[in-house]
Structure 1
Amino acid sequence: MAIASRYTVALHILTLLAYSSEHKNNKYLTSDIIAKSVNTNPVYIRRILSSLSSSSLVQVRYGTGSGWCLGKATTEITFLDVYEAVEQKKLFEYHRSNPNEACPIGENIQLSLEPYYAGAEQAMKTYLSRSTIADLLIDTVSMSNLRMNERLHSGVNP
C-alpha cells in the first residue's frame, strides 16, 4: 500500500516555496516553475496547490508578479497538515466488494480490522505532526550542499 504521490508532491511544492522565499528572495513562484522542479505538468501542480490553498497552507497572487507563496511560516506547517490537505481517503481501505456475510470471517473481518486500522492511522498522524516544512527544508538543503561538495571533490562539474 502506498500513499498517493499527491502527498509527496505537496511536500515538494511547499519545500520549494520555502527555499525560494528564504534562499532566493523570491516569495512567489508560478505553477510552471514549480512543475519544472517536480518534473510534471503544471495542471497537476495547480490541482495540488488548490488543495493546499483550501487549507491555507499556500496563497495565490494574481496580476503582476503572480504566483504562489506559503500561507504560513515553515515552522507552522506540519507534515500532518499537508497530509490532511491533499489526502481525502482513509489510510486503509476495505474490500472493493462486500465480503460474503455467510462466511464467519467475511461477516466480521471489516469490523475486526477497524481498531487495528484506526490505531495505525493515528500512530502515523502523530508521527507526521512532529515534522514541519522547516525541518524538511533544512534536510533537503543540507543534502544538496553535501552532494555539491562531493561533486566538487570528485572533479565532476556541478
Structure 2
Amino acid sequence: MAGQGVKEARPEVSANSRMTVAAHALTWIGLYQRRGHEVATSEQIATSVNTNPVVIRRLLADLRKAGLAESRRGAGAGWMLSRDLAAITLLDVHDAIAAGPIFALHRSPPDPECVVGHGIGPAMTAVYDQIERTLRGELARTTLEDILRDVLKAV
C-alpha cells in the first residue's frame, strides 16, 4: 500500500520468551557449576532471570524430561545439568520446551471454493517448512557453551 510506513511492533505485546528463559537457566546453572557449586536452586536461577521460582521449576521440569537437567531432592536440593554446556544445542532446548511448530495454518479450513482459500494452505506450508528447516539448522549450530562465551564477552 503506497504511502504507508512500516509499523513498529507494539511494546505491550510480548513474544514467547520460554526459549530465552530456558537457555538463560541452563547457561546460568552451567556457569554456577563451573564456579564450584554442585546444584543451583530455582530461587537462585529465578533471581538471575528476574522471574518467579515457580516459572523456573516448571521450565526446568520440561528440560529434565528432555534429559538436559537433573534435580536433586532433600538436603542439598537443586538443579544441575545432565551434560556439559558444549553438548547442549539451542535446538535441544527448543525441542524440549516448544509446543509445536512456529506457525500454523487456519484452525478451521478456509472456503475451498475461494481461489485463495483453496491455495493458501499449500503455499503457506511450503514457506513455513523452509522457515522451520532454517531455524532448526541455526539452532543446531549453536551450543550453550557458545552462548556462555558470548555472555562472558559482554561483561
**The TM-score by the shorter chain falls in which range?**
0.7 to 0.9
Q: How many residues align?
A: 143
Q: Which runs of 5+ in 2 are unaligned?
A: 1-8
Q: 1:30 to 1:40 in 2, by over 3 A?
A: same
- Residue 6 (structure 1) aligns with: 18
> Normalising by the residue count of structure 2, what TM-score does the alignment of the two structures yield?
0.87
Cα separation, 1, equivalents of 2:59 and 2:137: 23
User: If each structure's helix is expressed as a fraction of its own residues, which one has the higher value?
Assistant: 1
Asked if 1:33 is matched to 2:44, the reply is yes
- The separation in 1 between residues aligned to 2:15 and 2:90, in whole angstroms, is 13
Amino acid across the alignment from 1:104 = V
Residue 110 and residue 3 in structure 1: after superposition, are their counterparts in 2 closer, same or farther (change >3 A)?
Answer: farther
Structure 1 partner of 2:28: 16
State the alpha-carbon separation in 1 of the partners of residues 140 and 66 from structure 2.
15
User: What is the distance in 2 between the residues matched to 1:129 and 1:3?
Assistant: 21
Deviates more, 1:108-117 or 1:9-18: 108-117
- Partners of 2:58 and 2:52 in 1: how far apart? 10
| Shift of residue 95, structure 1, vs aligned partner | 2.6
1:65 aligns with 2:65: no
Please list every run of 5 or more consecutive structure 1 residues that lacks an aligned counterpart in the other structure: 145-158
User: Which residue is equivalent to 1:119?
Assistant: 130
| Counterpart for residue 85 of structure 2 | 74
Distance in 1 separating the partners of 2:22 and 2:107: 27
SS in 1 for 2:86: helix
Which amino acid is the alignment partner of residue 95 of structure 2?
E
Contact 1:17 1:27 in 2 (8 A): no
